[in-house]
Copies of this chain bind each other. A is one copy, B any other.
């Protein structure tokens, strides 16, 4: 099934808004075993007209976003009717829903909004409980053999409508009975090229099975698509070689897996951050339920804070410097004691752009890991990147270190 996506919106071409719809549709369709063959972005206004005309000849399904609003620039509905030679008629139910939407928000409905309740004759109006613009479904018999979805642009309106209204129709159209399963295996600590080199040939050998890699700062996802047997086989291949780096197979963030794992082991963790400045604590507390495993976080940015907040020795700061094994160790051990947590991690490093030296260049970091009753481990790494990437890389390294410790990998 040839699927094309047309996103409309001048802001997308001006670059003031990132076009995230392309990735959304790609990911959602892939879960159904479908692919986008082409994605086109055009400005508001007349351009949708020729874009639709072009796509009609080259695709079986067209998904359009945007241009369903009330203003004079919103022409998707009109262009679609025009290209197909269909009349627009008022949908009374859609009009009632829109009126109810405005009433529930105690706002008057403008006359301009009325045009949003029109749809090409013989088409379905798609309910939009999250906004004023209903969507439109043009079935193939009305679309010259091509099925067309007109959907609103704002994600909070688009995503629910896609799941409620588009997915069931696409399943029916594509005749896919068994939707393939998807696993998103996340790995931290191994690069995309190493992962690919290590397992790609074996995965390629699985018949009728798809896989792909997606590298991000400090992690790599392996996406597996197939039936249950193929997924189990592929998962085993990946885990056999790279199990040490495995985080989860549901595409969840590293911090979520860490929080769940700590909770399952009834362990608490404290953080002492210099160079990451609170990023590690923030990522942990992004996870719902993190209060079960995280109670105290220290951002000891200045030397004095390292002394006052977690009891680092001033003499060692003077002798070894803030970015040193000794200080990292004392930060972790001091926080462990003061917070009463079971585990502590501490980081001290040089995020740059200034502050580096020949001996300790920008990117240098010491990471300490302390656990009650066990010797503290300190690791030295160098991540010569820009400041924000440095923070991210250090946070990844620390969070995955704790995860590996707790899971015994």
User: Considering the chains assembled together, what is the distance between the CA atoms of A399 and B51 in angstroms?
Assistant: 44
Q: Is A296 engaged at the interface, CB distance under 8 Å to the other chain?
A: yes
B305 touches A301 (CB 8 A): no
Q: Across the interface, which residues of B come within 8 angstroms of A213, CB to CB?
A: 16
Q: Is A299 engaged at the interface, CB distance under 8 Å to the other chain?
A: yes
User: Which of these, B26, B40, B54, contacts A12 with CB under 8 Å?
Assistant: B26
Q: Across the interface, which residues of B come within 8 angstroms of A352, CB to CB?
A: 288
CB closest chain-B residue, reference A12: B22
Which residue, A24, A38, A277, has most C-beta atoms of chain B within 10 A? A277
User: Which of these, B11, B297, B338, contacts A308 with CB under 8 Å?
Assistant: B338
Main secondary structure of the interface of A (DSSP, over half): mixed
Q: Across the interface, which residues of B come within 8 angstroms of A14, CB to CB?
A: 26-27, 30, 35, 212, 223
Which residue, A16, A47, A340, has most C-beta atoms of chain B within 10 A? A16
B297 touches A304 (CB 8 A): no
User: Which of these, B16, B284, B387, contacts A26 with CB under 8 Å?
Assistant: B16
Q: Taking the nearest CB of chain B, how far is it from the CB of A107, in angstroms?
A: 12
Q: Is A374 engaged at the interface, CB distance under 8 Å to the other chain?
A: no
User: Considering the chains assembled together, what is the distance between the CA atoms of A304 and B212 in angstroms?
Assistant: 46
Interface size on A, residues (CB 8 A): 74
Q: Is A116 engaged at the interface, CB distance under 8 Å to the other chain?
A: no
Q: Across the interface, which residues of B come within 8 angstroms of A28, CB to CB?
A: 15
Q: Is A128 engaged at the interface, CB distance under 8 Å to the other chain?
A: no
Q: Is A291 engaged at the interface, CB distance under 8 Å to the other chain?
A: yes
Q: Is A314 engaged at the interface, CB distance under 8 Å to the other chain?
A: no
Q: Taking the nearest CB of chain B, how far is it from the CB of A357, in angstroms?
A: 16
Identical copies of this chain, number: 2
CB closest chain-B residue, reference A213: B16
Q: Taking the nearest CB of chain B, how far is it from the CB of A254, in angstroms?
A: 15
User: Considering the chains assembled together, what is the distance between the CA atoms of A41 and B12 in angstroms?
Assistant: 14
User: Considering the chains assembled together, what is the distance between the CA atoms of A35 and B43 in angstroms?
Assistant: 10
CB closest chain-B residue, reference A41: B39
A354-387 interface bits toward B, Cβ cutoff 8 Å, 1 = contact, 0 = none: 1000000000000000000000000000000001
User: Considering the chains assembled together, what is the distance between the CA atoms of A14 and B301 in angstroms?
Assistant: 41
Q: Is A294 engaged at the interface, CB distance under 8 Å to the other chain?
A: yes
Within 13-44 of A, Cβ neighbours of B (below 8 Å) are at 13-20, 22-28, 30, 35-43
A302 touches B291 (CB 8 A): yes
A295 touches B305 (CB 8 A): yes
8 A-B residue pairs with Cβ-Cβ distance under 8 Å, sorted by A, are: A14-B27, A16-B27, A18-B20, A278-B281, A281-B299, A296-B302, A296-B308, A304-B340
| Interchain residue pairs A-B with the least CB separation, the first 4 | A277-B285, A15-B26, A297-B299, A278-B281
Given contacts A54-B54, A281-B282, 13 further A-B contacts (CB under 8 A): A14-B212, A15-B22, A16-B23, A17-B23, A19-B23, A37-B43, A40-B40, A278-B278, A285-B301, A285-B351, A286-B388, A296-B299, A309-B309
